[in-house]
Amino acid sequence: MPVTEADPLARLRRRATWRRAAHLLAEFRYEQPDPARFYTALARDTADLLADLYGDVCDRDLNGGDLEGTIVLDVGGGPGYFADEFARRGAHYYSVEPDPSEMHAAGLPQRSSVRGSGTALPFATDSVDICFSSNVAEHIAAPWRMGEEMLRVTRPGGLVVYSYTLWYGPFGGHEMGLTHYLGGARAARWYTRRHGHPPKNLYGTSLFALTATDGLRWARRAEAAGAGRLVAALPRYLPARLWPIMRIPLLREVLGSNLMLVFVAAEPPVRHSSAGRCRWWCDGPRSRRE
């Protein structure tokens, strides 16, 4: 389905303000002491983001940002904080989570959750309208296999959003703070010594050093293989004015914080007048360094 608007990121661009970035950063303080508060705010922002992208990138006529009747798959859904928000939007929401302890950590009902692996999704090919993963890739050993699976299960013309925390960003070490800049294994030892137990996100086991360059390379391989059309590569939580950070190879790793790859699944490339390259790419020219 061809993109008809001059800017397929128009709605998201208007939403990506300094106020939004400040609000999400303020809520992040509650991830550990009050996870329900933090993940409820994140769920609301994620639903808004997906509605913006599905409406513009996939050229869907949504009623006031509603996702009525849309089949949404959340890969790595965790305790289920997102389910209520998507139900409120009228979506048919499903989540996949491999860890039963994580799935039941919040004591929420798991009416639409499936226990399974993101690298072998228990869903049929071309079966969902929107497939997204939020801050999961850095926790698994085969993140690009999960990305391939997400593209597989999404219907042609559907939306795939793959977002993960960058290792060299300020939140790359998760609960270990900024000590990860001195090495993941060392940071884990320091955390264990200080708290008397290892971190939940243990480097080399449940936390891996993913970079923006890693994601961009995989995205281009997936696009070249015909799995989907890469529409944009953005720093997910930053204001639109800072999106060009993703054009600068070293700076994006530190200041980008979180890379969001936006695909339209299994759709042929759209021809453009600007020398054949999609002008909406937000990571700049395709250099060999990437």
Counting as low any pLDDT under 50, the low residues of the chain are 1-5, 268-290
Phi, psi of 122 (to 5 degrees): -80, 50
Strand partners, 258: 165
Cα distances (angstroms) measured from residue 282 to each of 25, 35, 91, 257, 261: 22, 32, 29, 15, 10
> Where exactly are the structural domains of the chain?
10-166+210-256
Q: What is the CA radius of gyration of the chain?
A: 18
What is the CATH T-level fold of the domain 10-166+210-256, as seen in this structure?
Rossmann fold (3.40.50)
Query: What pLDDT was estimated at residue 59?
Result: 74
Query: What pLDDT was estimated at residue 81?
Result: 81
Query: What pLDDT was estimated at residue 56?
Result: 86
Percent of the chain with pLDDT over 90: 66
Query: What pLDDT was estimated at residue 34?
Result: 82
Query: What pLDDT was estimated at residue 38?
Result: 86
Query: What pLDDT was estimated at residue 157?
Result: 93
pTM: 0.87
Query: What pLDDT was estimated at residue 33?
Result: 82
Distance CA 242, CA 234 (A): 9
